[in-house]
A and B are shown apart, each in its own frame.
Chain A
């Protein structure tokens, strides 16, 4: 059985330009051929405020160990950035998704994030003065592109990930990755 180690960290959020603190919930999703044998596929970072470079550092560690019996359904990381305001309210300010690299070694990934946009003036005013944002009812839309064309979104920032990939036994099953 082939094995995949994902070791790294959710480094930071860049250019979100949010006045409130930001934190990120993440979930690593994979196909039915994949089994997580150690590590946590879901988690949440600490919340932090942007610095003068519009960057929030999280440095949240990731350490996952998967075994697989087929390469279909390669793992993806789904990210959801939320903000936390001064009175304890939180709402989503960004969704993002990317496939975990399939080549072994060190990777720096920038995951572009977006959020459903306020389409009317009243919504925009409400969001500006009161806060809050639209959220996706079906989070499958983040990683599946098929129905996403219905969305009108606002581009937000990027999330930077540093990931080391270690592959084991894939060659023995005729898998070429480099």
Chain B
């Protein structure tokens, strides 16, 4: 009797793992990426001359990128491929190494920019290159959304 309970329990657990998608991690993934988008606003406005250059603000944005780059690779567990209308493509899990390497590059670029960006000119020279990291991944690993 105990044995059959055990088997039933294991089976339920097994089926549960297959079916239950990790919706929390998908939500966290979206919020983390959103924070990167939010951090992009100020520096871009400074480049366009809509905001005055403000080094602490730029550095805060770069720190956000560094944090995002560190956190994101942990947010793609195998049980988070579908659900909550995620735009993450299955390719991510097929090329996990590449995805991790791309986040690492974003982290390195943002860290380097913490020292190289000193004024408006260096912001204009450096920041667009950091943004290329975003587009590079979105092109390959994110579904088009409307």
- Judge: A and B partners, yes or no: no
